[in-house]
Structure 1
Amino acid sequence: MGRRPSGRVTVRQVAAASGYSVGTVSRALSGHPAVAPATRDEVLALAARLGAPVPARASAASGRDPGAPVLVRCPYVLDDYFGRVVTAAVESLAVHGRRAVLDTGEAARERPVVAGLAGDRGLAGAVLVLPPEPVRQLEALRAGGFPFVVVDPMAALPADVPSVSSAHLTSARALTAHLLELGHRRIGVVGGPTEWLASRSRLAGHASALADAGLLPDPSLRRSVRPTADDGYAAACDLLDAPGPGGPPTAIVAFNDKVASGVLRAAAERGLAVPGDLAVTGFDDLDLARSTVPALTTARQPLEEMGRMAVSLLLRLVARQAVDALHVSLATELVVRGSTAPPPSSPK
């Protein structure tokens, strides 16, 4: 096999000689836990024979105690959303005889934990729930050979960074399609932060459902807020009090159940009946969705399963088993309750 004039052996050359893909060779050389030990050893041996330098990090994962505890990091308040994910992850670890080290609460965001995980030999791996760290830190952690799984990523991740999430696009598409089937055409959207992957995916799902009905999204009917009840209330007030050229919305799709509860409050203050005058949908199916009046139509996220699936995937990575699907997207369920009905002008 020929070499470059510099004498440096490339990843592509090792891949060509070994018969493995460039991605597999790259992961083997970086010590990525998704590569089976036998494959990694074969690639490293061939690379050494060809004269390629083998990075020290390629063997880093093998020096980690596979029986060490697992970090479960969720730098948010453990409410009825995050609490369900974290609890399921901890319980699943216990079923597998694993101890969990918890790093939770808003104060955890100020601690630079992720950057130092690759050198922490006291941990077998980590479950990172909605990590606020930039993607480049997660890429560096992956390159360092530390096993981890991201739950509900905040930003789009590279193909070789393991993650578990819900099917946000198809879920949002189903919610908007439900409203369209009821006869709604002016549908407001109170979405989440625009930089969040979930927000962008749900907006895409909403637009897809509108397109199927021959409609275009109306920017005047869209607001982006933090996912809180108060922000949902403020956005709904704005939508209902300052309608666009086509008038106020007859339905509002909220980013989550908390935002939807704020929308319900805004409607009640204006004497609007839900669902008679305004249909409202949420997302998540928290306990709150069944406690509002009326109860919310929403998309049920499999929050507990997200925690369990993350642990299952992580333990396979810790055991250095080959994993073909590193990005797992779990289906949601459309739950129709009393907050949606045809618009006032539609025949009953």
Structure 2
Amino acid sequence: MTEETQAAPVHTTVVENAPIAPLTTMRVGGPAARLVTVESTYDLVDAVREVDDADEPLLVLAGGSNVVLGDEGFPGTVVHVRTEGVRVESADSCGGATVRVEAGTNWEALVERAVAEGWAGVEALSGIPGSTGATPIQNVGAYGQEVAQTVAQVRVWDRVEQQIRTFSNLDCGFTYRHSIFKGTQHRGMSRYVVLEVVFQLELADLSRPIGYADLARQLGVDLGARVPLAEAREAVLVQRRQRGMVLDETDHDTWSCGSFFTNPILTVGEFEELERRAHTVLGPDVRPPRFADPHGNVKTSAAWLIDKAGFAKGYELPGSSIPAPASLSTKHTLAVTNRGTASSSDVVALARHIRDGVERTFGVRLVNEPVLVGLEL
């Protein structure tokens, strides 16, 4: 479905040679040739269209929690999305709550409000940094929930067709940490710029069924149980803080992109080969984690592979200065962290070293979750 754009008041600022690292959670990378900050959907569309019409490089940035920018910076325009707003379109016991959210709205603030309002379906996604508009791109998920379970529509600017389009849930192509918005490229970046996300949430005092074993143990309930929304949210925040996954200015374990690698999805044959290698390296009684996949494949744990390949929490690149500029989180092996002085080259060198070490040991090639701009792993 397509829509027409219309004129609106301008809420835009422009800065030349602007620092970008402070706008990201990893806090690395050089400046942008031009930074355009937009505060309305109309200005977001206009800014993107202007850059595309000029045939210049474009980077759309919102919460900055899933991007690593190269040390040389970005030689084009970074459009910083600061659009904010939450509109309840309907709320009743039959249909639940239909909530339309501007792309630049802080995700954690939205989840906090959902719990307070009694909107169930995103409580397990508490504490995730970044913007709401980024969540359908990655099909963000944690602790047994994914946004694919609650996204009703995604409204986007199509850079190819130069028009606004609305995608239904089925049109989004959601799979594990993936969507049509991530998979469809135009001139090196996504073809689609997310403008708004519409969520369909249940009106309830209780959470959706608990689907994560550690969370169930902390809450003292069985898998599949439902608990008060506020209790579910707080338990998730406890779990995330234990792993350094809740932003904290004073904690370098949170200066990261969260999980740097996705959990591998293997064919049955590939998983059997992983088991064989694990038995050889670690002993015959060791079994790699195995999780069901809806397409008949096998999902395993990237964190387990990293740890068992010899990269423990706090691991630093051999030969690093003291203190090391980058290391694995001291709380979780999946997070590559900036210890305060890292460059993007430091971050990528460590990530590459770990990826290659896992592949040598287990024959599984890890895939980075954050977008690398001006960098290659």
Q: Shared fold (TM-score greater than 0.5)? A: no
TM-score band, normalised by shorter chain:
under 0.3
Greater relative CO, 1 or 2 (CA 8 Å, sep 6+): 1
The structure with the greater share of residues assigned to strand is: 2
- Structure with higher helix content: 1
User: Rg: which structure is higher?
Assistant: 1
